[in-house]
Amino acid sequence: MPSTTGPAHPPSPSPGDRPGRLGRGTVASLLAVATLTALCYPLLSVGLTYAPPFQFAVLRAGTAGLALLMLALMLRRPFPQTRGLWLRVALSGLSATTIGFAAMFGAAGLVAPGIATVVAGTQPIVAALLALAMFGQPFKARQAAGMSIALAGIATMTLQDIWAGGSTAALGVVLVMAATLGTAFGNALTKRFASDVDPVAAAAVQLLLGAVPLALLAFLTESWSSQILNPSFFALVAVLGIGGTAVTFTLWIAVLKDCPLNAANAFNFLAPPIGVAISVVFVGESLAPSTIAGMALTLIGIALALSRRK
């Protein structure tokens, strides 16, 4: 990471670098990201009873970005030092924050939390294909097989509910897929600069720059909601902004410094089973046999994708 007080770190490794065994700290961080990601959709469903989608999205991104900005300034963390780095961080923020959040929040009111979470779980496959197309990052046969099995598990968990949901659910799924594409493209860009930036400062920039277009969308398309001042909603935004956004964005950039993108993304397949479990326990969604079978397939796919066997 470049710094004004010392020599710059070596340039980012090539996306095609061979992965090593993941350390315990990396695994713990990735598990935390998956768990916090799974919590987002249930919280979004609750929050949308207080505020329109874009206003909610702005508050989430803005709260997280401002918290990280203050932390970066207090700790004197270096911000991106070159124009190229600023451009890549800004583009990743516009993709993951603006597109990802706008579509995600729009979908939250149309589709059940469990369905939204599992559809968003296709992000690792989308990111792997983008990495291959954009940067030529290969993935081995076992990784492709593992992702395919995990995708089959996701399909098993979701198709029946999507069919039963009708056109409204279908529109919600389309929006979730748009959010997934934005997140995947942002993740691919993040891998290219992760080793050259400070995670806290870069995450603050991603979130704050991405929040600007969201604020414009909210101003142009939505009426002010007085429920935003409700203490319960304020608490929800704080939890979602800090735990579900600031922490996950920072951990993700930190992990991608040394972890190959495909290996890191494989852990995101854990979000769907965790999200379904959360929806069953806290939202009251039923757990059908097909859902259980899909969760098992997803876990098998993750294990295969992360296996070190050739």
Quick one: tokens of 270? 């854990």
Q: What is the mean pLDDT of residues 197-209?
A: 96
pLDDT at residue 66 in the model: 97
Q: For residues 52 and 110, what is the distance between their CA atoms, to the nearest angstrom?
A: 13
Sequence-ordered list of residues with C-beta below 8 angstroms from that of 57, at least 6 positions apart, any chain: 101, 102, 104, 105, 214, 218
Phi/psi for 15 (5° steps) reads -60, -20
pLDDT at residue 13 in the model: 43
Q: What is the pLDDT of residues 96-126, one digit of tens each?
A: 999 989 888 887 767 766 566 667 767 777 7
What is the residue whose two structure tokens read 């969760």?
Answer: 295
SS (H, E, C) the chain: CCCCCCCCCCCCCCCCCCCCCCCHHHHHHHHHHHHHHHHHHHHHHHHCCCCCHHHHHHHHHHHHHHHHHHHHHHHCCCCCCCHHHHHHHHHHHHHHHHHHHHHHHHHHCCCCHHHHHHHHCCHHHHHHHHHHHHHCCCCCHHHHHHHHHHHHHHHHHHHHHHHHHHHHHHHHHHHHHHHHHHHHHHHHHHHHHHHHCCHHHHHHHHHHHHHHHHHHHHHHHCCCCHHHHCHHHHHHHHHHHHHHHHHHHHHHHHHHCCCCHHHHHHHHHHHHHHHHHHHHHHHCCCCCHHHHHHHHHHHHHHHHHHCCCC
For 150, other C-beta atoms within 10 Å of its C-beta total: 29
Q: What is the pLDDT of residues 127-144, one digit of tens each?
A: 777 777 766 666 677 777
- Higher-scoring residue by pLDDT: 215, 144: 215
Does the pLDDT value for residue 255 go beyond 80?
yes
Q: What is the pLDDT of residues 12-22, one digit of tens each?
A: 444 444 444 67
Does the pLDDT value for residue 162 go beyond 70?
no
Q: What is the mean pLDDT of residues 74-86?
A: 94
pLDDT at residue 264 in the model: 85
Does the pLDDT value for residue 74 go beyond 70?
yes
Q: What is the pLDDT of residues 257-271, one digit of tens each?
A: 888 887 888 887 787
pLDDT tier for residue 225 given thresholds of 50, 70 and 90 = confident
∠ Cα 251 254 255 (to 5°): 85
Mean model confidence pLDDT for the chain = 81
Q: For residues 109 and 267, what is the distance between their CA atoms, to the nearest angstrom?
A: 26
11-15, 84-88, 220-224: segment of lowest average pLDDT: 11-15
Candidates 217, 167, 177, 199; CA nearest to 80 is: 199
pTM for the complete prediction? 0.78
